[in-house]
Chain A
């Protein structure tokens, strides 16, 4: 029946593909943006972050005193602690215009909180006081500064020494530099930092270490890296309208799919009402009719899932290294598949109701 009733099958298939593709694409952008939100935290390599008190997200902290570094390092659970400083500045492009950038400064030589992947050069380039690293995805925006290009950020001379790969922040272009250079650019008071990144000793109890940090730094916010990442994502998700916007567009994708699936399956069943009546007359039970409709739906859904995920993978591969945020965590496809199956089955309910209405007596007319 699936092969015979080609127009209905194609319609329902389109509905399933629409759900998988539209919802999948929306989710990939959402997860891509979520990654941007907490990109510095997720790639910091630290176990814990110390920030100013009453923090709402990693980008909204006040500066903290460098004296806290001594308190942190004094704990036996701590292997190392490194400050980072984040400021803003205007990047002078080769054509003389300016682009607003977020400058992340790391202390040499460990460079904790710095870039984690490079398209050109490496982290050693950042050991030089004047060197900065810009991201591959921002090269066009920044006027294609080649490695070695001398320019200015915040009126301070810098040299583009490396190009990072995939270091993109939610609040704009990220430029990595040394701590001293960022102090200079942002005009930060001496001995003040945005955060202190902490690595615990191997084998240390992370919860106990966090508790000790909180005890010695009562005026600060102390988070594990995972918790800070969640806090930041949740903040942007709920406070910027992204959650509502993506939730709405995802819902639209699902509704479009449900409507297409419902209408096409319903039309298909209407056209085959006689067949279902025959089935019932020759001994088919309501259960058997249900099995036929559900099987048909599942065959279409599984085929649609395959086609939808294939199209989605083509899209994700095509946009994966572009400036479009795109990330598809491995736990999403099974959930999307289960949701799609549930949506398809719910879309088939109207069709099933119609099929079950087929009276065996209708064949004797």
Chain B
């Protein structure tokens, strides 16, 4: 269980001549047991916000708390260790490392700081792959998998550490509609059944029905934050 609190988080980028604000002060509280979708057009600031939440980018202003501990001012090494302990990431592209098997890619999330994965971890990796519909692929090279299978393998990599927070950047954009739905159902289950903070960045409207909370951004600012069940709403509209 984890709880994230953002207080007036803002981010500027500079090209050396001028400073441009890409995220205006934003205050949010993100809780477990919900699938939160950050939506908005390109350049709206959603990826920047996700990067700050994921501790891979420092805010220019504001503070962020993870379980009441301020984490917005951590140095690189502290942030890396916290990401390792508490976070899971699913990227737009699966970003599996070629040359490693699917199982090794999944275990990489545990061994990235040099730890040798234990036998239980190997078992857990295989169980995760099976649960995600990838039974029998443990020893396969990523290039042998379809796009959807790779993305599910990347979800397995994110989940192997039992992260309290799962951040997903456009996880369905490189997938066909059917694979995208499979991935979203998995993410939804992870959020609800496993009581994790799951945040999905997407501008794909097909993702919205899976959201428990939909935060829309435009031009670097939150323009709406709705906690309705969008699955239900969409069904009603349909």
Contacts and interface: CB of A to CB of B under 8 A. Distances in A.
A278 B99 contact: no
Interface in B129-157: 157
A359 B76 CA distance: 10
Given A280-B80, A281-B56, A285-B113, A364 B95 contact: no
A275 interface: yes
Contacts of B92: 364-365
Given A4-B98, A363-B89, A363-B91, A284 B112 contact: yes
Interface residues of B, number: 32
Interface in A278-312: 278-288, 291
A282 B84 contact: yes
B153 to A, nearest CB: 13
B81 A283 contact: yes
Contact of A288 (B50, B85, B97, B112): B112
Contacts of B83: 281-283, 360
A363 B95 contact: yes
Given A282-B83, A364-B56, A3 B99 contact: yes
Given A284-B112, A284-B113, A5 B77 contact: no
B150 to A, nearest CB: 13
A283 B84 contact: yes
B98 A279 contact: no
Most interface-central of A275, A279, A281 (chain B CB within 10 A): A281
A9 to B, nearest CB: 10
A279 to B, nearest CB: 6
Contacts of A4: 98-100
Nearest to B201: A364
Contacts of A279: 108, 112
A274 interface: yes
B10 to A, nearest CB: 16
A311 B10 CA distance: 61
B81 A285 contact: yes
- Which size class do A's interface residues fall under? 20 to 34
B111 to A, nearest CB: 9
A278 B88 CA distance: 11
A283 B109 contact: yes
Contacts of A363: 56, 89, 91, 95, 169
B47 interface: yes
B40 interface: no
B44 to A, nearest CB: 14
Contacts of B97: 1, 275, 278
A208 interface: no
Interface in B9-62: 47, 50-51, 54, 56-57
A96 B89 CA distance: 88
B91 A284 contact: no
Interface in A80-133: none
Contacts of A318: none
A285 B80 contact: yes
A99 B80 CA distance: 76
A285 B100 CA distance: 20
A361 interface: yes
Interface string A333-365: 000000000000000000000000001110111
B87 interface: yes
A285 B56 contact: no
A340 B66 CA distance: 48
Interface string B107-124: 011001110000000000
A364 B50 contact: yes
B57 A361 contact: yes
Given A278-B91, A364-B47, A283 B99 contact: no
Contacts of B169: 363-364
Contacts of B91: 278, 281, 363-364
A286 B81 contact: no
A288 B158 CA distance: 18
30 contacts: A4-B99, A4-B100, A275-B95, A279-B108, A279-B112, A280-B80, A281-B56, A281-B83, A281-B91, A282-B108, A282-B112, A282-B157, A282-B158, A283-B81, A283-B83, A283-B84, A283-B112, A284-B113, A285-B77, A285-B80, A288-B114, A291-B114, A360-B56, A360-B83, A361-B56, A363-B95, A364-B47, A364-B54, A365-B47, A365-B92
Q: Which 5 A-B pairs have the closest CB atoms?
A: A4-B99, A283-B84, A360-B56, A284-B112, A361-B56
